[in-house]
């Protein structure tokens, strides 16, 4: 029979929370889904949806990414940090999708405002 050290330490493993990346992804996908729904720039419904799309893509997504990065950096300070690289990728993809979608929505909003 082998004797093991009696001391067993419990540590609090820190990971970046999932929800900022998830919210960012959902916002980006919504902004992207709104693009085909706003192709008719002469329709006032398109303008309304594009305002939503622009806010999602150009504001909510970057804020979500910022929150994700902030929380990740906080978690990194722990010696027991457990990285979640998939969340970083999700946030990066969401940022690209969101910003690109917001360009289209910006065009629709601008078109309506310029009439």
Partner 1 sequence: MRGRALLGAILGLLLAAAPLSAAGQTGELSDVGERSFADVAACVANSDTLLVSMVVDQSGSLQNTDPANERVGAVDTAIEALEGLRQTASAELDVQMNLAVFDGSYEELVGWGSLAGDHAQSLRDAAARELPVRNTGDFTDYRAALSGAERSLTSRSEAVDPDACKVVLWFTDGRLDVGESTQAARAELCAPQGIADSLRGNHIAVVALALFTEQGRGAVSQEDANLLRAVAEGSADGVECGTTPVPESFSGRAYLRASDAAALRRVFAGAGTLIEGGQQALSVTCPGQECIEGQFRVPLDRGLSGFRLVLDGVQEDRPPVMRSPDGQAVELVSGTAAEVGSGQLAASTKEGLTVVDLTFATGGSPGGSWVLDTHATPQQVTVIDLYYFWGVGLEIRAPEGLTIGESSPLQVLLSYADGTPVDPADYQSLAVRMQVGGQDVSLVPDGPGSYVTTHDVPAQDAPAALEIGVTAEAVSSPSSVGLGPVSGSARLQTVLPPSYATLLTHELRMPQIVGLGTTSGALQFRGSERGETRVCVDDVRIAAPELAGEVTVSTAGQCLAIPANDEVTWPVELSPAGAADGRIQGSLVLSMTSVDSSDTITVEVPVGASMMRPVNEPLRWGLVAGLVLLGLLLPTAIAWLTNLLNGTFRVGPRTVLAEAPVRLTPQGLEPQARTALLTLDDFRGLGFAKESRRSRIDGPVRLTRRLPLWPFGEVRYEAVTDDGVVVSSLDPYTLKGGRRAPAVSNFGDVFFLRLRPSPNEDGSYDGLLVIVDTDDPDLSTVIRRREDQVQRFRDWSALYERLEEQVRQDVEPEPAAVATRKSASPSAPVGPGGPSDAEARPSLWDEPRSSLWEDPPTRPEGDSVWDPGADSGRSGPAPSRDRERSDKPRSIFDD
* Chain contacts with partner 1 (rule: CB under 8 A): 39-45, 54, 57-59, 61-63, 65-66, 69-70, 73-74, 76-79, 81, 95, 99, 102-104, 106-111, 113-115
Q: Name the residue nearer to partner 1 (CB basis): 3 or 79.
A: 79
Q: Name the residue nearer to partner 1 (CB basis): 1 or 44.
A: 44
In 3D space, the residue among 108, 103, 114 whose CA is nearest the CA of residue 43 turns out to be 108
Q: Name the residue nearer to partner 1 (CB basis): 19 or 74.
A: 74
The span from the CA of 3 to the CA of 90, in Å, is 46
Please report how close the Cβ of residue 58 comes to partner 1 at its closest, in angstroms. 4
């Amino acid at each position: 029979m082998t004797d093991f050290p009696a001391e067993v330490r419990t540590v609090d493993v820190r990971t970046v929370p999932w929800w900022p990346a998830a919210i960012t992804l959902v916002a980006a996908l919504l902004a992207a889904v709104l693009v085909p729904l706003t192709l008719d720039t002469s329709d006032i419904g398109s303008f309304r949806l594009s305002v939503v799309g622009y806010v999602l893509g150009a504001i909510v997504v970057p804020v979500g990414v910022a929150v994700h990065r902030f929380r990740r950096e906080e978690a990194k300070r722990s010696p027991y940090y457990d990285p979640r690289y998939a969340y970083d990728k999700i946030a990066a993809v969401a940022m690209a999708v969101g910003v690109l979608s917001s360009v289209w929505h910006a065009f629709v909003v601008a078109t309506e405002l310029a009439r």
